[in-house]
Homo-oligomer: A and B are copies of this chain.
């Protein structure tokens, strides 16, 4: 089904005559417009992109499925939308309630001569098409190559930030647009912070170091985590490493279309709990990845979303022990009918950097 038709399914589901899209992610997905301003507007029979002076020329060149309309000070966004609605006798339209601020909603409902209904498009991009998989796979190849580069690069005595800078530089050298989120480099005791952004801390002999980073390629994201150790290992952290690895691998072994998000989360959580670390795994098992690095679905405890062929999700169990450190191992996988396919392929053997 093409992307515009996917939107039209929501028209039926919500019994409305149009949907106004303002999130930059969905404007890009549907209309190839990556910008915080402008709108994509889909009605039963037509589709529009409304852009200002800054984007109009580029959008017009790139989006031949759409009527592209220029917004200017004489005919503002809502004037244009009111005109379209009047001409097509549209009385009620949907908007992205999770993406539009309360104040913007208030302003929209004052300026538009139609009724507004919040529609939930969070599942719109859940199943990736062939092109999308191609871009995500490329973004994964970039982070795999970056991981292998970094284990050569990293040395005792460097700061976490130096390592972060090299990760970001190398992603771009490989043709990535940029990092898909702020790179995490958490070494030693900082490893107990699941979201420890790279700091000025110096990496020391004996530290376990967790890297969590991603690349963007053609606006699609990847997301990988690996934990390595510097020079020498540590008994308890090595034990933890093997538990986390087992949880990651077991999930990837059993994951397939038809499982629920809660079921797969439980696979990892049960393994980690069986070793007594249940309370040290304080986050979800994973999340969808696509234009956003975090998107539908959340692989969370007791959640009930059904995983489907075509989805790309992360599998990222972790164990964090205050005053000791932490380990997380994360892959991106593509779900198929019978199983799943790893898109990040970096080794999960514990690497000791010398």
User: Can you list, as one digit per residue, whether each of A184-214 has a CB less than 8 Å from chain B (1) or not (0)?
Assistant: 0000000011111000000000000000000
The CB with the most chain B CB atoms within 10 A, among A95, A102, A165, A173, is that of A102
Chain B residue contacts of A278, Cβ below 8 A: none
Q: How far is the CB of A22 from chain B (nearest CB, A)?
A: 11
- Is the interface on chain A under 10, 10 to 19, 20 to 34, or 35 or more residues? 35 or more
Binds B, one of A53-61, A233-241, A259-267, A338-346: A53-61
Q: How far is the CB of A169 from chain B (nearest CB, A)?
A: 5
Inter-subunit contact B193/A54 (CB<8 Å): yes
Inter-subunit contact B104/A54 (CB<8 Å): no
- Kindly report which residue of chain B lies nearest to residue A301, judged by CB atoms: B73
User: Can you list, as one digit per residue, whether each of A271-298 has a CB less than 8 Å from chain B (1) or not (0)?
Assistant: 0000000000011000000000000000
A169 in complex: contacting residue of B35, B169, B322, CB < 8 Å: B169
Q: How far is the CB of A198 from chain B (nearest CB, A)?
A: 9
Inter-subunit contact B283/A53 (CB<8 Å): yes
Chain B residue contacts of A104, Cβ below 8 A: 98, 102
A145: CB under 8 A from chain B?
no
A118 in complex: contacting residue of B53, B103, B182, CB < 8 Å: B103
CA distance A58 to B103 in the complex (A): 32
- Kindly report which residue of chain B lies nearest to residue A116, judged by CB atoms: B102
A54 in complex: contacting residue of B98, B118, B283, CB < 8 Å: B283
CA distance A120 to B101 in the complex (A): 12
- Kindly report which residue of chain B lies nearest to residue A166, judged by CB atoms: B172
A102 in complex: contacting residue of B105, B165, B173, CB < 8 Å: B105
User: Can you list, as one digit per residue, whether each of A103-138 has a CB less than 8 Å from chain B (1) or not (0)?
Assistant: 111100000000000101000000000000000000
A150: CB under 8 A from chain B?
no
Question: Can you list 14 residue pairs at the A/B interface with Cβ under 8 Å?
Answer: A35-B195, A53-B283, A54-B193, A54-B283, A55-B195, A97-B102, A98-B104, A100-B101, A101-B102, A102-B104, A168-B168, A168-B169, A168-B178, A169-B169
Using A55-B195, A98-B104 as known contacts, list a sample of 20 further A-B pairs with CB atoms less than 8 Å apart, ordered by residue number in A.
Answer: A35-B195, A53-B283, A54-B282, A57-B193, A58-B193, A58-B196, A95-B102, A97-B101, A98-B101, A98-B103, A99-B101, A100-B101, A102-B102, A102-B105, A103-B118, A168-B169, A168-B172, A168-B178, A169-B169, A169-B172
